[in-house]
A and B are shown apart, each in its own frame.
Chain A
C-alpha cells in the first residue's frame, strides 16, 4: 500500500498521538464517565489503521511488532479472568476489592470502584491487542496476494512515487 500525500502524513503526525491519549483517557475513566474498555480500546486501535493508510506498508511493517499486540491480548484476557476470580468466596465477578462497610471504603490504595476500573483497564488491553492484530493479519494477507504495487496512494500529488 502506497503512502498518501504530505497533507495526510502531516495530519497523522499531529493527531495520531492525541488519539492514543484520548483512548487511554476513555479507558482509565471508564468507571466515572461514559465509555470504558471496549470503546477506548477501539479508539486506541484506530491508530494502527491510521498509520497504515497515511504512511503506507513499508513504514507500517518497519514500525509494527506483532508480538506486542499478542502479548496485550493475552495479558488483558488473563487479567480480566483473574479479577473475576478475586471475588470467589461470594460469587464470580463479585466486586471484592472495594466494598464500602458502613460508608467507609476498604483498601484506599485501589481506585474507588474496585475491580470495575481494573477490569476496564484489562478489557482495554485486550481490545487494543485484538483489533490491532486484526488490522495486521488482514493487511499481511493482502500484501501476499497483491504485493502492494497498485494499492493506495493518491494520483496527482503523491511525492513518494515519483
Chain B
C-alpha cells in the first residue's frame, strides 16, 4: 500500500517537474531584461565603476554585502563561543 502511494506520488511529481523544465526559458535569453540593461548602462555613468560585478556587489546591492559581512561575523562569534578556551571546565 505504502509502496503504491509512493510510486504514484513519484510519477505525478516527476510529470510536474518535466512540465516545469519545459516552461523554463532557454539559456542566455532572459524573459525580462529591463534591470540588466539598466545596470549595464548605468554602472559606469552613474556609479563610475569599471567592473560591473563589483558595482553590483558593493553599490547596487551593498545591503546584501552587509548581510554577508554579518554572516561572517556571526560564524566567527559562534566559532569563538564553541572553541575558545575549550576543554577548560571550571
Contact = CB atoms under 8 A, between A and B. Distances in A.
Interface of A: 30-34, 36, 38, 73, 76-77, 80-81, 84, 92-95, 98-100, 105, 112-116, 119-120, 123, 126-127, 130, 133-134, 137-138, 140-142, 144-145
Contacts of A73: 73, 76
A31 B73 contact: no
Contact of B69 (A34, A77, A114, A116): A77
B76 to A, nearest CB: 5
21 contacts: A33-B51, A36-B58, A73-B76, A80-B65, A80-B66, A92-B63, A93-B66, A95-B47, A113-B55, A115-B59, A123-B69, A126-B69, A133-B79, A137-B80, A137-B84, A140-B83, A141-B82, A141-B83, A141-B85, A142-B86, A144-B86
Contact of A36 (B50, B54, B73, B79): B54
A120 B58 contact: yes
A76 B73 CA distance: 11
A28 B49 CA distance: 14
